[in-house]
């Protein structure tokens, strides 16, 4: 039977960013250097495929440090952690590796700088997201106030309206964040901002690519996890830019292909924590059902890389003392 033609328009850039790539490398290099198991506090990045792949190599993912035994390395996720976490690791003498994305760490340092200069920080972000928890946890309780929408700015209560600074989660919608910043600046004209935009280059680039292809496709698949902030934003951006049939999926197996019967042009992108192999998996599944033509629309090139932690490259391996050796 003749297959129906389908053009797949791939957004570029898509998939892994430098921070995600670095975080995964940290776990892999730690496994090579120190052997299994290497413990990881929380998902290293928000993607089950990545987590399961690392588990197969010997990584053990836990929710909190009290689940980590003595004498093994522990890695902190790319989203960043409150200061209480490395402090607890140091009290226990644990060998830890910080996989926090350097662009998230930049936000941490900015918040600390503003706090040291006496300002209260307003953080734009999503309540409960690990990155927000980590950023707020850099400073004493009450030093950082969280806002999620422009409407919340009107009811924000601050002790000194003339001594404020704002920071943002790195994975937000660029357009939505712009409206929240505008609301903050309208209400608090003297509010200080970051020297350079907090939303990371990868989030911005992936959203720009989706903006470019959304008007050209009849449907769009975003490869990513349901708890991935940047992936969920890509679905929102697609809908805001003309592609209402945009859907977040984790794997090819999750796709109901009957929904795409009659679609002539299908867009595909991937969040910053989704590997390219998942895009290839979806393309292969589409080829099983359609006569596929592949095109790519690229809006930016990325060549950013981040160095691995110094204590991973030249630190001493942690001792793994069995009771008999003690």
- Please identify every residue annotated as catalytic: 131
Give the three-state DSSP class for 246: strand
Tell which residue, 221, 224, 202, has the closest CA to residue 213. Answer: 221
Per DSSP, 112 falls in state H
Report the distance separating Cα 37 and Cα 198, nearest Å: 35
Residues 299-309, buried b or exposed e (16+ Cβ, 10 A)?
Answer: beeeeeeeebb
> Which ranges in the chain belong to alpha helices (H)?
18-34, 48-57, 84-92, 102-116, 130-136, 150-153, 174-187, 201-213, 229-240, 276-289, 310-313
Which residues does 52 contact at the CB level (< 8 Å), separation at least 6? none
Cα(125)–Cα(15) distance, rounded to whole angstroms? 22
Between CA 232 and CA 171 the distance in angstroms is 10
Distances, alpha carbon 51 to alpha carbons 41, 47, 55, 62, 269, in Å? 12, 6, 6, 11, 20
Written as one string, the DSSP assignment of 262-292 is: T-SEEEEEE-TTS-HHHHHHHHHHHHHHEEE
Task: Give CA angle at 226 (223, 228), nearest 5°.
Answer: 80
How far is it, in rounded angstroms, from Cα 104 to Cα 292? 39
């Amino acid at each position: 039977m003749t297959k129906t033609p389908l053009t797949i328009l791939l957004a570029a850039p898509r998939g892994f960013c430098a921070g995600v790539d670095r975080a995964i490398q940290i776990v892999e290099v730690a496994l090579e250097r120190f052997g299994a198991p290497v413990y990881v506090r929380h998902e290293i990045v928000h993607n089950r495929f990545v987590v399961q792949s690392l588990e197969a190599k010997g990584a053990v993912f836990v929710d909190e440090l009290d689940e980590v035994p003595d004498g093994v390395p522990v890695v902190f996720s790319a989203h960043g952690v409150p200061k209480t976490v490395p402090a607890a690791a140091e009290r226990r003498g644990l060998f830890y590796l910080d996989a926090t994305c350097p662009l998230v760490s930049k936000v941490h340092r900015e918040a600390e700088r503003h706090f040291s200069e006496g300002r209260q920080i307003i953080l734009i972000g999503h309540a409960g997201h690990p990155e927000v928890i980590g950023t707020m946890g850099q400073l004493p309780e009450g030093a950082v106030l969280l806002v999620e929408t422009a409407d919340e700015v009107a009811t924000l209560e601050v002790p000194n309206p003339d001594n404020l600074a704002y920071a943002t989660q790195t994975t937000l919608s660029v357009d939505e964040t712009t409206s929240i910043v505008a609301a903050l600046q309208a209400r608090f004209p003297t509010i200080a901002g970051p020297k350079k935009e907090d939303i990371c280059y990868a989030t911005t680039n992936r959203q720009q690519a989706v903006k470019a292809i959304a008007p050209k496709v009849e449907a769009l698949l975003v490869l990513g996890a349901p708890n991935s902030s940047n992936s969920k934003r890509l679905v929102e951006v697609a809908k805001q830019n003309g592609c209402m049939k945009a859907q977040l999926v984790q794997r090819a197996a999750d796709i109901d292909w009957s929904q795409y019967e009659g679609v002539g042009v299908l867009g595909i992108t991937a969040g910053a924590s989704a590997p390219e192999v998942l895009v290839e998996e979806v393309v292969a599944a589409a080829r099983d059902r359609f006569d596929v033509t592949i095109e790519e629309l690229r809006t930016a090139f990325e060549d950013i890389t981040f160095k691995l932690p110094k204590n991973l490259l030249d630190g001493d391996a942690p001792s793994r003392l069995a009771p008999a050796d003690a």
